[in-house]
Amino acid sequence: MMLKLQSVMTYYGRILALKGVSLHVDPGEIVAVVGPNGAGKTTALNTISGVLSPRSGRITFDGKDIAGKTADKLVEMGLVQVPEGRQLFPGMSVYENLMLGAYRRSRAAKRSLVSEDLDRIYATFPVLKDRSRQSAGTLSGGEQQMLAIGRALMARPRMLLLDEPSMGLAPLVVKEIFRVIADLRRDGGTTVLVVEQNAKAALAVAKRAYVLETGRVVMEGPASELAKNPEIQRAYLGKGYKQMVE
């Protein structure tokens, strides 16, 4: 297993937000965590990435306990998060935001590799190349999400944590974002853990999935099976989805 959470409990102040969450992600997998607002999805990612500290339980990455490790140490280990809301530097250019993703690797001896990675990001998201000198704050929501993913990829992650990548985006843009997510695993072997309220999009690309409600895992299994589950369809996928997947 690449990532494993065992009975993790995390508090926001006095509020118990994660109530004994256990999940795992194997190398090369796309795993989705779906659920409504307030389910604890972002809390789970922030606990993994060190923004929050678990009160109890264990989190391991490649068999090593990572609870309490700082974000820069996790990036060095290959674990990189794309946060909810993108959190770009709006006054800096697209190029400058991308290069910040490679700040741990930007020594002179590695400049050629960084340049290769930049070319790869531009090939994946051609619009970013076209807007490389443009301020990140002037991009559309979809372009900003592409930039946030590109910035994370500049760190050469072994595992990518994606927090609500579809939030606020038009359906066609959501489709493109999740196509890229699927390509990351297929073409580059990048392992992905994605948390999403848009269960339809997440389950379409994931191999396995967990359903989180009020801080607890209430269901788990192959994503394709969960997509056909009547309870999941009724709660998250909307009318007509069953006909779409049959």
What was the pLDDT predicted at 21?
98
pLDDT tens digits for 111-133?
778 889 999 999 999 999 999 99
Domain boundaries, the chain: 3-78+157-245, 87-156
Higher-confidence residue of 231 and 153: namely 153
pLDDT tens digits for 82-109?
988 878 999 999 999 999 998 766 554 4
Q: Does the pLDDT value for residue 244 go beyond 50?
A: no
Amino acid at 138: T
Q: What number is the average pLDDT over the span 27-55? A: 93
Q: What number is the average pLDDT over the span 225-236? A: 87
What was the pLDDT predicted at 122?
96
Q: How many CB atoms lie within 10 A of CB 228?
A: 15
Q: Does the pLDDT value for residue 230 go beyond 50?
A: yes
What was the pLDDT predicted at 108?
47
157, 78 contact by CB (below 8 A):
yes
CA distance between the termini of the chain: 32
Higher-confidence residue of 182 and 241: namely 182
What was the pLDDT predicted at 241?
41
Read off the pLDDT band of 242 (50, 70, 90): very low
Q: Could you say which architecture CATH assigns to the domain 3-78+157-245?
A: 3-Layer(aba) Sandwich (3.40)
Q: Is 10 left (phi over 0), alpha (psi -120 to 50) or beta?
A: beta
Read off the pLDDT band of 54 (50, 70, 90): very high
Taking the C-alpha atoms of residue 226 and residue 229, their distance in angstroms, rounded to an integer, is 5
Q: Does the pLDDT value for residue 11 go beyond 90?
A: yes
What was the pLDDT predicted at 109?
44
What was the pLDDT predicted at 238?
59
H/E stretch holding 193 reads strand 191-196
Q: Does the pLDDT value for residue 152 go beyond 60?
A: yes
Taking the C-alpha atoms of residue 109 and residue 100, their distance in angstroms, rounded to an integer, is 17
Q: How far is CA 8 from the centre of its chain?
A: 19
What was the pLDDT predicted at 56?
95
Q: Which of 16-20, 172-176, 197-201 has the highest mean predicted lDDT (pLDDT)?
A: 16-20
H/E stretch holding 187 reads helix 171-188
